[in-house]
Chains A and B, each alone.
Chain A
Amino acid sequence: MDFLVNGVVELFSGDGWKMIVMWAVGILLIYLAIKKDMEPALLLPMGFGAILVNLPFSGAIGAEGILDWLFDLGIGQAEAFPLLLFIGIGAMIDFGPLLSNPKLLFFGAAAQVGIFITIILASLIGFNLADASSIGIIGAADGPTSILVARTFKSGYLGAIMVAAYSYMALVPIIQPMAIKAVTTKKERALHMPYSPATVTKTTKIIFPIVVTVIAGLIAPASVSLVGMLMLGNLIRECGVLDNLSETAQKTLANLITLLLGVTIAASMKADQFVRWQTLAIMGLGLFAFVFDTIGGVLFAKLVNVFLPQSKKINPMIGGAGISAFPMSARVIQKLGLEADPTNHLLMHAVGANVSGQVASVVAGGIILSIVPAMLGI
């Protein structure tokens, strides 16, 4: 009759307590998904999966386990799930506000600075360069890019990095207002920006994804699968002859892959690999990256304002929308603008900067994948 109590005995012996910690993590993720409505499509399966893989003698993991099989197939081999998800994301994005005001592209670039500051900090506290780069890329606010970089560098912290990347994306409405308020005054946040969109033709919208893929592919070839899938999704949306496919990519494909991705990420949340001090450090560094991305974007906007006449000044918060968390970040900026002045509508400008963050974060990932291996000789 021992088999009836084997699981309970295992749980209360040796490192069994770590599994109980992981149950708590799982329950926390499920709580955030259900009660706080934070990225529920992702956090709920992740939370449930965290419990699933941390049951003693769990049949969901190991050579015959579904989660390890899904992980190997969907993330381990060619990063299929995150890349397929990018097709859906690409199909959801309307680059119109960005194309009508392409200057906003530079805010996406500036808001990647948190990635690099975090790489420096992570190196300083003892992570090797490959791991530090994998941790820094959490600041891209872009799950698939984080997974690609961590997987390519064979980081031992893949689980913690994925959890940090996706959790903080869900926490953007909490993190960004604090960071923005720390570096702006109410007067700055209340700054109005007139919205007069320039005409963007369908031809431009069709050529844009192709051009971005080619440019990013030529300069940062490692990013081409990410950029390519994102832009393929966008081309499907904009071409005008694949409406059904576009809708499928935006809804069915994105939902299905999000579900599979969420539960698959959990396969890397095994207690023995997750419950260690480095996980806490990674969580802290991930938060640091998000905060400094936002601050970097805001400060860049302030710098640009120095050179602009009074009538053309940019609300510095727009710089903070240059992170990849779309559309949460744009919504945060709109809300903060209205909070400072109930007539201050910044949504369309923020959306432009936010989608530029999508492009820039993928480019940042590709550039890190090009620079770091060359530096490490791998």
Chain B
Amino acid sequence: MNTMLSAFADNLKNTVKALDITWKGMLGIFLVIGIIYIVVTVLNIVTVEDKRKAVAQKIKGFFKKK
């Protein structure tokens, strides 16, 4: 009985660590994917002339207003 309880306690300890891995892991994945998303979005703007001009226009407009 004691052995079973001790094994269960070990499992619980590991489960708590697994929860720690879970939030850190998901955060890490979303962080990496988020950075890749930003880079791809920027690349899609920078490498397509029409989009580049449109963004440049917006920036110019913003500073003119200021």
Taking beta carbons and an 8 Å cutoff, which residues of A are in contact with B? 99-100, 102-103, 105-106, 108-109, 112-113, 115-117, 119-120, 122-129, 132-133, 198-201, 203-204, 207-208, 211-212, 215-216, 219-220, 356, 359-360, 363-364, 367-368, 370-372, 375
Contact = CB atoms under 8 A, between A and B. Distances in A.
Contact of B40 (A105, A119, A203): A105
Given A113-B26, A117-B22, A125-B11, A106 B33 contact: yes
A378 B2 CA distance: 29
A200 B43 CA distance: 9
B33 A359 contact: yes
B22 A199 contact: no
B5 to A, nearest CB: 13
B11 A219 contact: no
Contact of A368 (B7, B25, B30): B25
A102 B25 contact: no
Contacts of B32: 215-216, 219-220, 363, 367
Contact of B33 (A109, A115, A204, A375): A109
Contacts of B33: 105-106, 108-109, 356, 359-360, 363
B17 interface: yes
A214 to B, nearest CB: 9
A307 B17 CA distance: 33
A7 B59 CA distance: 80
A117 B15 CA distance: 10
Given A112-B29, A126-B7, 19 more contacts: A99-B44, A105-B40, A116-B26, A119-B22, A120-B18, A120-B22, A123-B15, A124-B18, A132-B14, A203-B47, A204-B40, A204-B47, A215-B35, A215-B39, A219-B28, A219-B35, A220-B28, A368-B25, A371-B25
Interface in B15-59: 15, 17-22, 24-26, 28-37, 39-41, 43-44, 47-48
Contacts of A125: 11
A207 B43 contact: yes
B29 A367 contact: yes
Q: Which 8 A-B pairs have the closest CB atoms?
A: A116-B22, A123-B14, A367-B28, A201-B47, A123-B18, A109-B33, A102-B40, A120-B18
Nearest to A113: B26
